[in-house]
Amino acid sequence: MTPDIDISAALQAKVLEAIAQGRPLQIAGGGSKIFYGRAPQGEALSVTGHRGVISYEPTELVITARAGTRLADVEALLASHNQMLPFEPPHFTANATLGGAIATGLSGPCRPYTGSVRDFVLGVKVLTGKGEILSFGGQVMKNVAGFDVSRFMAGSLGTLGILLEVSLKVLPRPESEQTLLFECSALDAIQRMNAWAGQPLPLSGAVFDGGRLYLRLSGSEAALSAARQTLGGELFPDGTAFWRDVRDHTYTFFQDDAPLWRLSAPAATPPFDLPGEWLLDWGGAQRWLKTSCAAATIREITAKAGGHATLFRGGDRQGAVFHPLPPALMALHRRLKAAFDPHGILNPARMYPDV
């Protein structure tokens, strides 16, 4: 079990010192996702010492833990009560932390069927770039007026504040899981995945790679048996390892140094006319592309389809990594940054060059 250690006062002192010296800080967790976003800048400020589960109420389906707590420890505790983090966060390495999972806002293969990271964030405690410790949200789902600040932190890459504590909604683990395998083309896979998504089937994952469509079913034994009768396909015996490898990018497709792009688009979009190697996830809504094609070309074609493209790993980490924002949305980002980090010391330019 992760030791219960609170170093929020020490972190606050370091932020106040950095403000006084005008020194930028690079928020450092387990380092499992340091490749994500633009190149880090500033002095490393480790939050891994700030760890431990603060409260866990299995009957209420809520857990609150410090941000430096290892993700594996959180999931092990939940599993001991037959529960799970519904958004299936990627680990990438054994050192992944809860704070890193929330700050990057990344979700695993079950994302289209259960929801995203921010859908399950109930509340947070953050250390802002002003040196203030603030709490937002709580431990229950409720309607809010105005901005839901706690969910702003999901995917903000630490540019708005240092996560200290996170409260999350959790869910029971499914009774059973099966993975089905189908041989088909990319276009056929997209059509099948979208057709099945509109039916009352216990889907929890849909990935296409190299002429093979993998479909995960999660639920009761009776529901899985009925779904398999409807869907057909072959039973894939190594489903658990396959979905873990896709989640953590240890799957064969991800094992090289080629620039890796993440394209988000409407799930029913036909295959893109872009050169390279493809893997389709999220039922077609998330598409991984390994290519040396120009960034401008990738983004232009993706935008025409109503999507956006991110240089997920590799390539030029000094340039534009995330899809450029419209002026009005960029202005909103700047105002939020100014409100939470007016001195610009927290993970500067990690998302966009001037934010």
Q: For the chain, which residues make up each domain, given as ranges?
A: 8-172+334-340, 176-256+258-313
Element (H, E) at 72: helix 71-79
What is the CA angle 107-108-110, rounded to 5? Answer: 105
| Rounded Cα distance, 333 and 69, in Å | 28
pLDDT at 145: 44
- Shortest CA distance to 208 belongs to which of 217, 200, 216, 218? 216
Alpha carbons 48 and 96: distance in angstroms, whole number: 10
Tokens coding 334 = 């700047």
Q: 8-172+334-340: what CATH class? A: alpha beta
Burial class (CB in 10 A: 0-12, 13-18, 19+), 233: middle
Q: How many residues does the chain have?
A: 355
Q: What DSSP letter does each residue of 36-90 carry, written as one string? A: SSSPP-SEEEE-TTSB-EEEEEGGGTEEEEETTSBHHHHHHHHHTTTEE-TT---
CA-to-CA separations, 316 to 35, 107, 312, in angstroms, rounded: 11, 24, 10
pLDDT at 219: 97
Q: Are strands 171-172 and 83-84 parallel, antiparallel or unpaired?
A: antiparallel
Going residue by residue through the chain, which has 355 residues, state the pLDDT in tens, using 9 for 90 and above.
567 899 999 999 999 999 999 999 999 999 999 999 999 999 999 999 999 999 999 999 999 999 999 999 999 999 999 999 999 999 999 999 999 999 999 999 999 999 999 999 999 999 999 999 999 987 554 444 456 788 889 999 999 999 999 999 999 999 999 999 999 999 999 999 999 999 999 999 999 999 999 999 999 999 999 999 999 999 999 999 999 999 999 999 999 999 999 999 999 999 999 999 999 999 999 999 999 999 999 999 999 999 999 999 999 999 999 999 999 999 999 999 999 999 999 999 999 998 8
Given a contact cutoff of 8 angstroms between Cβ atoms, the answer to whether 45 and 162 are in contact is yes
Predicted local confidence at residue 141, as pLDDT: 45
Q: How far is CA 33 from CA 29, 86, 265, 298, in A?
A: 9, 20, 23, 23
